[in-house]
Amino acid sequence: MTQSWAWLDKAAAASTPIEDMFAEDSERLSRLSLDVNCGDATLYFDFSKTHLTTDDVGRFAEMAEKFHLSAARERLFGGEVINITEERAAEHSAERGTGATEAVERAFSLRQRMYGLVGAIQAGAFGEIKHLIHIGIGGSALGPDMLYDALAREDAQCDVHIVSNVDGAALAEAFAACDPQTTMIAIASKTFTTTETLRNAESAVNWLKQEGVEDPYGRCIALTAAPEKASEWGIDDARILPFSETVGGRYSLWSSIGFPFALAGGQEAFDALLAGAAAMDAHFRDAPFERNAPILAACVDQYYARGRKAQTRAIFAYDERLRLLPDYLQQLEMESNGKSVTLNGDVVDVPTAAISWGGVGTDAQHAVFQLLHQGTHILPIEFVASAEPGHDLDPEHHAILLSNCFAQGAALMQGRASDDPHRHYGGDRPSTTILLDDVSPAALGALIAFYEHRVFANAVFMNINPFDQFGVELGKAIAKSIATDADTAFDPSTQALLSRVGLQ
């Protein structure tokens, strides 16, 4: 399909500076920005400060037809086996009520089970519970961590600690902050085989035991797609909250993996999160190509990755509540689209997932923005902000925060000429801005669903499978052989490192 993309190289090579495009087309802003109403939330997307033109959008629409984007989207929502390498559907949207009827019904009934357990904890079935230590890693930690941090940290109905790293220091910190007599442990693992999670879970049970808790396993809950493994591990079926095998790890915060948010934020907030995501599903499914936020975002991504050979993309959250968003997106984007072969197994001829990185504004302005304004990299940037603040302090805080956010986008685009090369800003640097009306459950649900669908649309344009992750397995297998077989031979460098710390 390389031939079909030749227009993009040409378009990118001949592109006009972004500022001039505004001067040439008074409709540019309205054509390349849109509000997406997601029930109780509205998200505003502004793609106009990128080099994308409306002609480009038309060409991308033709490419979408060649790559059968509409059909792929229907197969996704229809629960078809779209993850062909693992022979599975990808049914995360069913968790929020969008998808094949059977999957939606199953998700609904499993969610009622989760709410039942939340209710039992709140009603005192396990004695007084003040703390939850949630143990999981990757998709079993990043999503719940972000939800709790963004939406429940302030008024939490239960104090939550998310522990992912197998470095015991992470768990020790959680132990120090919790009273074992009033703590429950949630063990979150889709497969219930992940070494780090099982190691941490065992230490948590030992901690409860040492601290005199009579039935430590009785304080454990499993959030998993492998209930039989959780049961073998020692958790009673009544405290196992299953979710479907067809929900991928990095797409699982909508399922029982989101338990910490359901417990700390409450059922109403969890339902609102799902409703916001469902509204974004409907938008992705029904909005026309040129007014479809995830699709336009994917066009921008493809424009820079293919047309300008950009290798990275930076996301800056101008809101403390969204400080974990860049970490969350790293897994979603890079584990999904960091691939080198197409669906057929042919080597790809394009750069796949951009390396996604970022931070929080305004902090990042004082750390990495020098490179963004004057460095040599081609680097599309994304700003995410909220019109409403997440605090009751002087409104000036939020005014300064948002002025800085919008000023950065303007400065990157307009630049500032100077005779002194050190003080010269070349400008014409692209950025996208996403403005939420507030960081509410509905808005965050819609935002995450937007990113999921953008990843999917990118994958379709690249003809790759975003739903597998075989690249993580080799390192795990080698680590296991180090742990289990002292005689395994390694290269001299690895061997020397192992001997230095007594591992061989």
Residues with a catalytic annotation lie at 335, 366, 476
What is the nearest approach in angstroms of ligand F6P to the Cβ of residue 81? 19
Residue 250 binds ligand F6P, judged by CB under 6 A: yes
Closest CB 141 distance from ligand F6P, rounded Å: 8
Q: Tell whether residue 112 is a contact of ligand F6P (CB under 6 A).
A: no
Regarding 445 and contact with ligand F6P (CB under 6 A), the answer is: no
Two structure tokens written together for 174: 């959680």
Cβ atoms of 285 and 99 within 8 Å: the answer is no
CB nearer to ligand F6P: pick between 46 and 468: 468
Give φ, ψ of 318 to 5 degrees: -90, 60
Would you say 70 or 165 has its CB closer to ligand F6P? 165
Q: Taking the complex as a whole, how short is the minimal distance between the CB of residue 190 and ligand F6P, in angstroms? A: 4
In terms of Cβ atoms closer than 10 Å to its own Cβ (0-12, 13-18, 19+), residue 213 is middle
Task: For the sheet with 355-360, list strands across it.
Answer: 33-38, 41-46, 431-436, 381-386, 312-318, 355-360
Give whichever of 197 and 408 is closer to ligand F6P, judged by the CB atom: 197
For ligand F6P, which residue of 183, 189, 302, 352 counts as binding (CB under 6 A)? 189
> Which of 456, 465, 142, 471 minimizes the C-alpha distance to 326?
142
Q: 377: closest CA among 444, 455, 445, 311?
A: 311
In single-letter form, the type of residue at position 22 comes to F
CA proximity to 166, closest of 474, 467, 470, 480: 480
Only one of the segments 76-84, 132-140, 203-211, 274-282 lies at the binding site for ligand F6P (rule: CB under 6 A); that segment is 132-140
Q: Quick check: 194 binds ligand F6P (CB under 6 A)? A: yes
Provide the mask over 349-378, with x wherever binding to ligand F6P is found by CB under 6 A and - wherever it is not. Answer: ------------------------------
Question: In the stretch 133-152, what mask flags binding to ligand F6P with x, by CB under 6 A?
Answer: ----xxxx------------
Considering the rule CB under 6 A, would residue 98 count as an interface residue with ligand F6P? no
C-beta of 56 vs 145, nearer to ligand F6P: 145
Helix axes 267-286 and 69-77, enclosed angle (nearest 10)? 150
List 249, 307, 326, 445, residue binding ligand F6P (CB under 6 A): 249
Task: Work out the number of other CB atoms within 10 angstroms of the CB of residue 32.
Answer: 23
Question: Which range touches ligand F6P (CB under 6 A), out of 111-119, 188-196, 289-297, 375-383?
Answer: 188-196
CA gap 93, 274 in Å, rounded = 9
| Residue whose CB is less far from ligand F6P, 200 or 433 | 200
Q: Whole-number minimum distance, CB 68 to ligand F6P, in Å? A: 27
Task: State the nearest-atom distance from the C-beta of 137 to ligand F6P, in Å.
Answer: 5
| Residue 255 in the binding site for ligand F6P (CB under 6 A) | no
Rounded (5°) CA angle 457-463-466? 60
Q: Which is nearer to ligand F6P, 337 or 469 (CB)?
A: 469
CA–CA–CA angle 322, 354, 342 (5° rounding)? 125
Based on its alpha-carbon atoms, the radius of gyration of the chain, rounded to whole angstroms, reads: 24
CB nearer to ligand F6P: give 156 or 220: 220
Q: How far is the CB of 120 from ligand F6P (least distance, A)?
A: 24
* Per-residue binding letters, 318-347, with ligand F6P (x by CB under 6 A): -----------------x------------
219 binds ligand F6P, rule: CB under 6 A: no
Choosing from 191, 206, 403, 418, the residue that interacts with ligand F6P (CB under 6 A) is 191
Using the rule CB under 6 A, is 469 a contact of ligand F6P?
Answer: yes
**Distance spanning both ends of the chain, measured CA to CA:** 49
* Of 172, 407, 472, 486, the one binding ligand F6P by CB under 6 A: 472
CB count in 10 Å sphere of residue 382: 23
Instruction: Quote helix, strand, coil % in the chain, to nearest 5.
Output: 55, 15, 30
What are the structure tokens assigned to 285, written together? 């499914």
**Peptide bond preceding 85 in cis form (omega within 30 of 0):** no
Mark 16-28 as b/e (b = at least 16 C-beta within 10 Å): eebeebeeebeeb
Number of amino acids touching ligand F6P (CB under 6 A) = 14
Residues near ligand F6P (CB under 6 A) are 137-140, 189-191, 194, 197, 249-250, 335, 469, 472
